[in-house]
Structure 1
Amino acid sequence: MLDRLLGFKIHDYLQVLGILILAFGLPMNKVLMSIGTIWLASNLLLKADLKSYWNRWKPSVVFWFILAVLAFHILGLSYTQDFGYAFKDLNTKLPLFVIPIAIIGYPIEKRYFNLILIVFLSSLLITSGINFYYMIFHPWEDYRTFSLFGSHIRYALLIVTGVLVALYLFLQKKKFSIIFLLCLIWFIIYTVLSQVLSGYIALSFLSLGIFIYFIRQISSRFKKTIGISLFLITIICGVWFLYAYLSPDNRELTFGELPKKTEYGNIYYHDTTVLWYENGHHVQSFIAGDELTEEWSKRSKTSLKDTTSDGYLLRDILIRYMTSKGLTKDKNGMQSMEAKDIQNVENGIASIAHTYDGIHRQMHQLKNEVFHYSVNGDPDGNSLLQRIEHWRAAIHIIENNWLFGVGTGDLQNAFDWSYENIDTRLDKENWNRAHNQFLTFWVAFGVFGFIIFCVFWLGLFVFGLRNNKLLIIGFSLIAISSFLSEDTLETQQGVTFIALFLGLFSLYQNFFFQKDKDSKKL
């Protein structure tokens, strides 16, 4: 419509600008994401070229998948009770219903594709640089606070996607290849430094995809066999190392033989009913409160009755920290604490493992959580144990609603009911949804929704493999890795991430049932 009024193709430029806003805003903030989504929807409606839209939508696998997901959400309204939650969920998922359809229905010229990717990388460089600066000057803060522009989990996915995009541009743009290589290296370093487990998992999935992509480029059967063999050996050794490292100790915990008094005659406090461990050591045992207070006052100007910025008692931090070092919480244990340990406790660090760097810290935390699980420990505060409880609750719902699910709006109500029925030990404030997008789809929309969701994403990956499309292979694996541990489509940043790159990559790498007659434009 505006093309005719203004005498030139203004809608083409508006479409490019809308996608650029999304690409730049995705790592930045929700406002830019919302503006970009509304922009694309408005431009599509104002252009009003329905016949051309339909001709481009018909052969698109993504279009029919989005339509199926929307249909499940609408049908789910017919047997839901909590319409407030249902409409909130639909509102959250609007980017998924708008962005891919707008991009596929009104494609921009291919010459803008790399520009969009470069703008996305630029935004990632700016935000990751600011995060890194904050990380350097706040070394003792919770690593989750290092992501200043949204959830640390979703941001980790964007950074790993940055690795994929930088690699793609490195292979495409020979003139500026060194710049994209440096970006690739920086995003890998940032992923390691950020200490986000989902980021490590996504990077591992992406590495697998990149290996498959390059191994298919090798024509020599001998070289291909050698490459695959070395890769499999690496995987096997890695799995063996993880198993050996994470396996809990088999030592027996003989609580009945615990000493009643310290070396100085003071009574020990032991609470063996609380299965709480730090670094493999029991927290609520070998505690001599008076000795701790007396020795602490000699080493620090702070009081154990003080609280940290997070609201935790310094006394509790000290007990956890000493436990993590394998020390008794008494005079002898305090005398074994170094000056650096005292400083760590004053800074609110609750475990010696929290002072480790990068992957070492995350691996140690995971090892501690596996140990908790092996002794039937308290799941609260342990991300792995909490997820296991979330998955248990989801499976319990599926067992009772496997065919059609609980509908669009009754997800949280169903989970609340399930947690009560499985006698979870999670505090009620942690009664969350599945933290697994595949399970969430089954809970909400039954077995048919689950099958369609799984078939699409596996189909996207297989398409990438068969056609050797790097962006499709990498993106599908990053998305699948996020779906395994998170409800990625339940947040604005997560759903916008999936929507934008699903639309872009499927369009420009020809994920269609048949060749689009307008594909020469792409």
Structure 2
Amino acid sequence: MWFLSKQVNSIIYFSILIFASLTLVWGNFPLTLSACFLFAFWLFEGDYKQKIKRLFTSTAALFFLIISFVVFSWALFQLPHPQAYKDILENAPLLVFAFVMGSKERVSVVQMHSILVVFVLSITANTLFNYTYFIFNSLEYDDVRNASLFMSYIRLSLYTLIGIVITIYYLFYHKHLHISKKQRIVLWCCFIWLLFFVLFLGSITGYVVLLTLSVIFAFSQSFKQKNRQTRIMFLLFLVVCLSTVAGIFLHELKFFTKTEKVVVSQLDSVTLLANPYEPFNQNSMLENGKWVNKYICDTEINAFWKLYSDMPIQGKDKKMQPLKSTLIRYLTSKGLRKDASGLKHLSKEDIENIENGCTNYRFANNHYLSHRIYEILWEFHFYFQGNNPAGHSVTQRVEFVKCAYKVHQKNKIWGTGPANFTSELHAQYPLQDIVLPSKYWNKPHNQFLSFLVQYGFVGFTIIMICFIGIYIYAQRSRSILSVSWFVITAISFLNEDTLEGINGLVFFAFFGCFFLCSQPKKARIKHAK
């Protein structure tokens, strides 16, 4: 502040950044508070001439500000529409972080380490709290997506991934920094826990980012190593990672490519109780490579299910899926007939799995990579059979993208603007070839496409030039932190409307501006003790 010394102002600024890094993952209010504190500090500090001069020499900050300019300009032209006001307020943190961090002096090396370590401890505590709460409430919450109390599980996976990157930075990339044995143990514990939590969340975005970062990490470390054996070790780590993922993918894929052979004329026509089976259709769904509509007897399922469960067969399971569909898929996954004889072979644990919404016995207690890959393959199999993908997290995005592209074709140059974006999508959804239920009329879940639809070719081109500029600047910094942040951001943009909502916006703005505008230059970090 103008009446305080430069040293005191530096401490206040550092304290605000510490508060921000500490509270990033603990809800929306602390995020808003951090942005307000930064902006208020910038105003009361004074020294505007020097700060503006510094801002115009910060290339990365200017890229962030130009993106903000596009967002705010399109919203301002649509005032006084209520959605335009809302869009301006929601995107204000991007402007604040870019403007303040870009115009302030870079933090010291000690301050940088403090901010990063505080964030790692905060995200570790947050994920431990989320996981513990989920486990102790597992009867109420069966979906691992509920293991994120303060934001969406996909956003939480992004913050967890950046926490993993920071621990890797200290464990493998910061050899000149003295880290005690106890500190190294804490870092390893944080790394292992955060890695487990990303796998536990089951976010496909998290898995793709994790694999990509593993490739980057293995290559960068292998080239840095002078010892040939160490270099080979890192390359072997890369081969093992890629081979493991490929092996899991191929193992799950075989359930959709190597299906059971059925000779219709040799099928039984009635059950052991002499009730008729429904006609078999070989173009139906698959479960573990077996045909779902083979040997189904509705009469016996409806009559005998009540002997095993109090949940009505025509009702919903605990995941709000049709219980009968869950039961039929589960029986199919075990190779059992969907009749009285099949029900008889179900254990008490199987009944509980079905009631909990588990459709495949192999994944009753598995929320990890193989389960997620199988789910995605099953969704595409279901979609390509001509079924409506509503409620399926991956394939419904195909319909989101199709709808958004149709809207873009009607607003190619200047876009819909943020105020009309949602209303234009809602007007287009009923006109699509596959009409999703209205509760699934969502935005495209692709940030690049959202830019294109909202801001047209003009705004999209400006934003993409800035985004490429940020990439070049991140590469030039030669820091694993900035490069990894960009990789996480770019991949999340492909699968999510990352900037729609304060958690994703602050992830993009805070870490981007900190790594590219506030973090000390690499030479200073390297020579600091």
Which TM-score tier does this pair reach, normalised by the shorter chain? 0.7 to 0.9
- Relative distance call for 1:376 and 1:280 in structure 2 (3 A) is farther
- Relative distance call for 1:315 and 1:89 in structure 2 (3 A) is same
Which of 292, 303, 308 matches 1:299? 308
> 2-side partners of 1:23 and 1:415: how far apart?
36
- Relative distance call for 1:311 and 1:381 in structure 2 (3 A) is closer
> 2-side partners of 1:82 and 1:338: how far apart?
62
5 Å-filtered alignment, 1:56-75, equals 56-75=54-73
Q: Which amino acid is the alignment partner of residue 51 of structure 1?
A: K
Instruction: Measure how far apart 1:190 and its partner are.
Output: 1.4
Alpha-carbon displacement from aligned partner over 1:307-342 (angstroms, at most 9, x marks no partner): 555555644543343244343321121122122101
Which of 371, 387, 401 matches 1:391? 401
Instruction: Measure how far apart 1:386 and its partner are.
Output: 0.7
Instruction: Measure how far apart 1:29 and its partner are.
Output: 0.9
Which residue number in structure 1 is paired with residue 198 of structure 2? 191
> 1-side partners of 2:521 and 2:456: how far apart?
27
Which residue number in structure 1 is paired with residue 154 of structure 2? 153
> 2-side partners of 1:63 and 1:477: how far apart?
18
Instruction: Measure how far apart 1:117 and its partner are.
Output: 1.0
- Relative distance call for 1:467 and 1:504 in structure 2 (3 A) is closer
Maintained 8 Å contact 1:398/1:443 = yes
Maintained 8 Å contact 1:461/1:472 = no
Maintained 8 Å contact 1:274/1:284 = no
> 1-side partners of 2:431 and 2:422: how far apart?
14
5 Å-filtered alignment, 1:152-301, equals 152-170=153-171, 171=174, 172-175=177-180, 176-218=183-225, 231=238, 235=242, 238-239=245-246, 242=249, 245-246=252-253, 248-249=256-257, 261-269=270-278, 278-279=287-288, 286-300=295-309
Which residue number in structure 1 is paired with residue 133 of structure 2? 134
Instruction: Measure how far apart 1:63 and its partner are.
Output: 2.2
Alpha-carbon displacement from aligned partner over 1:96-133 (angstroms, at most 9, x marks no partner): 11113212222343421111111111211111111222
Alpha-carbon displacement from aligned partner over 1:455-476 (angstroms, at most 9, x marks no partner): 4444434444444211111111
> 1-side partners of 2:190 and 2:310: how far apart?
45
5 Å-filtered alignment, 1:57-136, equals 57-77=55-75, 80=78, 83-107=81-105, 108-136=107-135
> 2-side partners of 1:510 and 1:255: how far apart?
70
Alpha-carbon displacement from aligned partner over 1:257-315 (angstroms, at most 9, x marks no partner): 78764332224456979966655556566443442244334334555466555555644
Which of 339, 347, 355 matches 2:364? 355
- Relative distance call for 1:372 and 1:474 in structure 2 (3 A) is same
Instruction: Measure how far apart 1:92 and its partner are.
Output: 1.6
Which residue number in structure 2 is paired with residue 368 of structure 1? 378
Give the alignment's TM-score, normalised by structure 2.
Answer: 0.85
5 Å-filtered alignment, 1:460-479, equals 460-479=470-489
Maintained 8 Å contact 2:218/2:237 = no
Instruction: Measure how far apart 1:402 and its partner are.
Output: 3.2
Which of 374, 381, 392 matches 2:391? 381
Instruction: Measure how far apart 1:160 and its partner are.
Output: 0.7
> 2-side partners of 1:211 and 1:63: how far apart?
30
Instruction: Measure how far apart 1:9 and its partner are.
Output: 4.8
Maintained 8 Å contact 2:260/2:289 = no
- Relative distance call for 1:229 and 1:314 in structure 2 (3 A) is closer
Alpha-carbon displacement from aligned partner over 1:318-370 (angstroms, at most 9, x marks no partner): 33432443433211211221221012223343443541422222122122113
Q: Which amino acid is the alignment partner of residue 199 of structure 2?
A: V
Instruction: Measure how far apart 1:169 and its partner are.
Output: 2.7
Instruction: Measure how far apart 1:51 and its partner are.
Output: 1.0
Q: Which amino acid is the alignment partner of residue 145 of structure 1?
A: N
Which residue number in structure 2 is paired with residue 481 of structure 1? 491
Alpha-carbon displacement from aligned partner over 1:130-158 (angstroms, at most 9, x marks no partner): 12223433456111111122211100111
Matched, 1:340 2:360: no
Which residue number in structure 1 is paired with residue 508 of structure 2? 498
> 2-side partners of 1:270 and 1:451: how far apart?
55
Which residue number in structure 1 is paired with residue 32 of structure 2? 34
- Relative distance call for 1:284 and 1:449 in structure 2 (3 A) is farther
> 2-side partners of 1:463 and 1:504: how far apart?
13
Alpha-carbon displacement from aligned partner over 1:400-449 (angstroms, at most 9, x marks no partner): 43333222222112322333343223222111111111111111112343
Of structures 1 and 2, the one scoring higher in RCO (CA 8 A, sep 6+) is: 1
Q: Which amino acid is the alignment partner of residue 206 of structure 2?
A: G
Q: Which amino acid is the alignment partner of residue 59 of structure 2?
A: V
Gaps of 5+ in 2: none
Which residue number in structure 2 is paired with residue 422 of structure 1? 432
Maintained 8 Å contact 1:275/1:377 = no
- Relative distance call for 1:137 and 1:391 in structure 2 (3 A) is same
More moved, 184-193 vs 218-227: 218-227
> 2-side partners of 1:389 and 1:511: how far apart?
45
More moved, 50-59 vs 167-176: 167-176
2:433 partner SS: coil
Q: Which amino acid is the alignment partner of residue 434 of structure 1?
A: P
Maintained 8 Å contact 2:144/2:200 = no
> 1-side partners of 2:345 and 2:300: how far apart?
13
2:275 partner SS: coil
Maintained 8 Å contact 1:355/1:361 = no
Percentage of pairs with the same residue: 24
1:383 partner SS: coil
Q: Which amino acid is the alignment partner of residue 257 of structure 2?
A: D
Q: Which amino acid is the alignment partner of residue 74 of structure 2?
A: G
